[in-house]
Chain A
Amino acid sequence: MSFNIENYLSDQSTGNNILLYKGNVDSDVINHVLDTVEDKMVEINEQPKLRKKVYNVLVESLQNLYHHVDRVPDDFEDQTSEKFGLLVINKVEGGYRIITGNFIHSENIEKLEEKIKRINRSSREEIKELYKFILNHQRISAKGGGGLGLVDIARKTGNKLEYAFSEYNDKYSFFYLDILVNEEN
């Protein structure tokens, strides 16, 4: 699979796009995105329960990018973004799809994939227990993350985490995380 963010997105763009962002993910960007999406959901009169879930998942996805992204490769077009990330939000039938993307060092893929697979094969009850275990036993990392983001997303949405790694070169891949937030399931 050759590397092309736009191609990936056009393949994935089902539903109505309500937000697309590509660039540095800093605190101001996070605030702006959260405000924009929240206003949008109020404007279209989205039901409060779904609105809250989307907001929560969005906070965690953006802060995952903020805390965990690896630096962009030296030959990547955007060298000014210290924390380069991609965010797409689509309105779909019964909910929203939130897609994030970021560079990852090849050697970090295995650990991340293992984590996602563990979450995806867990039942709702197991995810709840996993969340409580990490909450109670793991300290906040030097990067500032709590190690709970993905678990929280899976718990709140009740859906599997869809993901893909697209190879950029032998040292880097681009990681896509695709989250469906929908009404009760």
Chain B
Amino acid sequence: MEPIIIEGTPKTPTVKFDSAEGVFEIKGRSIPENSVEFYKPLVDWLDSYKESPLTKTVVNIRLEYFNTSSSKCILDVFKKLEAIHKAKNEVEVNWYYEEDDEDMLEAGEDYESIIRVPFKMIEIVE
């Protein structure tokens, strides 16, 4: 599978989905007006990856800001990962948040409570 590599912009995150390593990363700001347009290719890609995933997939989410419209799309991403996990593959989500950013920590906890995949909350200390 071809990896997905998308450079970040002020409104959309940097994305690196590397199927060879099984490491997926979403980083930066995700505040586009039309988040479906941005996330649909990622969700479709995960649909394909789900057919023959690696035995271990690590997902790093390191967002500074995301809007509510992205929050639904991110949930769609996690739902694909949940399906991979359910099919007896190891999936681990690392949810990064900046020091003192309780809102971002809580956002990670929201997903953790909805999605049945192990989450690790990691505080970035500068």
Interface of chain B, main secondary structure: helix
Interface size class of B (residues with CB under 8 A): 20 to 34
Cα A55 to Cα B29 in complex, Å, equals: 12
Cα A128 to Cα B65 in complex, Å, equals: 18
User: How many pairs of A and B residues are in contact by the CB < 8 Å rule?
Assistant: 65
Cα A144 to Cα B98 in complex, Å, equals: 29
Residues of A within 8 A of B110 (CB): 128, 131-132, 135
Q: Are B65 and A59 in contact (CB under 8 A)?
A: yes
**Known contacts A31-B11, A49-B101, A52-B103; A146 and B33 CB within 8 A of each other:** no
Residues of A within 8 A of B75 (CB): 135-136
Residues of B within 8 A of A35 (CB): 10
Indicate if A60 sits at the interface (CB-CB under 8 A): yes
Q: Are B33 and A144 in contact (CB under 8 A)?
A: yes
A residues 5-60 with Cβ under 8 Å of B?
Answer: 27, 30-31, 34-35, 48-49, 52-53, 55-56, 59-60
Q: List 13 A-B contacts (CB under 8 A).
A: A31-B10, A31-B11, A49-B101, A63-B68, A67-B33, A128-B106, A128-B110, A131-B110, A132-B110, A136-B75, A136-B114, A144-B34, A145-B69
Residues of B within 8 A of A105 (CB): none
Indicate if B23 sits at the interface (CB-CB under 8 A): no
Q: Are B114 and A132 in contact (CB under 8 A)?
A: yes
**Known contacts A30-B33, A56-B65, A140-B36; A148 and B101 CB within 8 A of each other:** no
Indicate if A152 sits at the interface (CB-CB under 8 A): yes
Q: Are B72 and A135 in contact (CB under 8 A)?
A: yes
Residues of B within 8 A of A56 (CB): 65, 67, 103
Cα A25 to Cα B31 in complex, Å, equals: 15
Cα A22 to Cα B44 in complex, Å, equals: 39
Cα A132 to Cα B103 in complex, Å, equals: 14
Residues of B within 8 A of A148 (CB): 68-69, 71-72
B residues 68-126 with Cβ under 8 Å of A?
Answer: 68-69, 71-72, 75, 98, 100-101, 103, 106, 110, 113-114
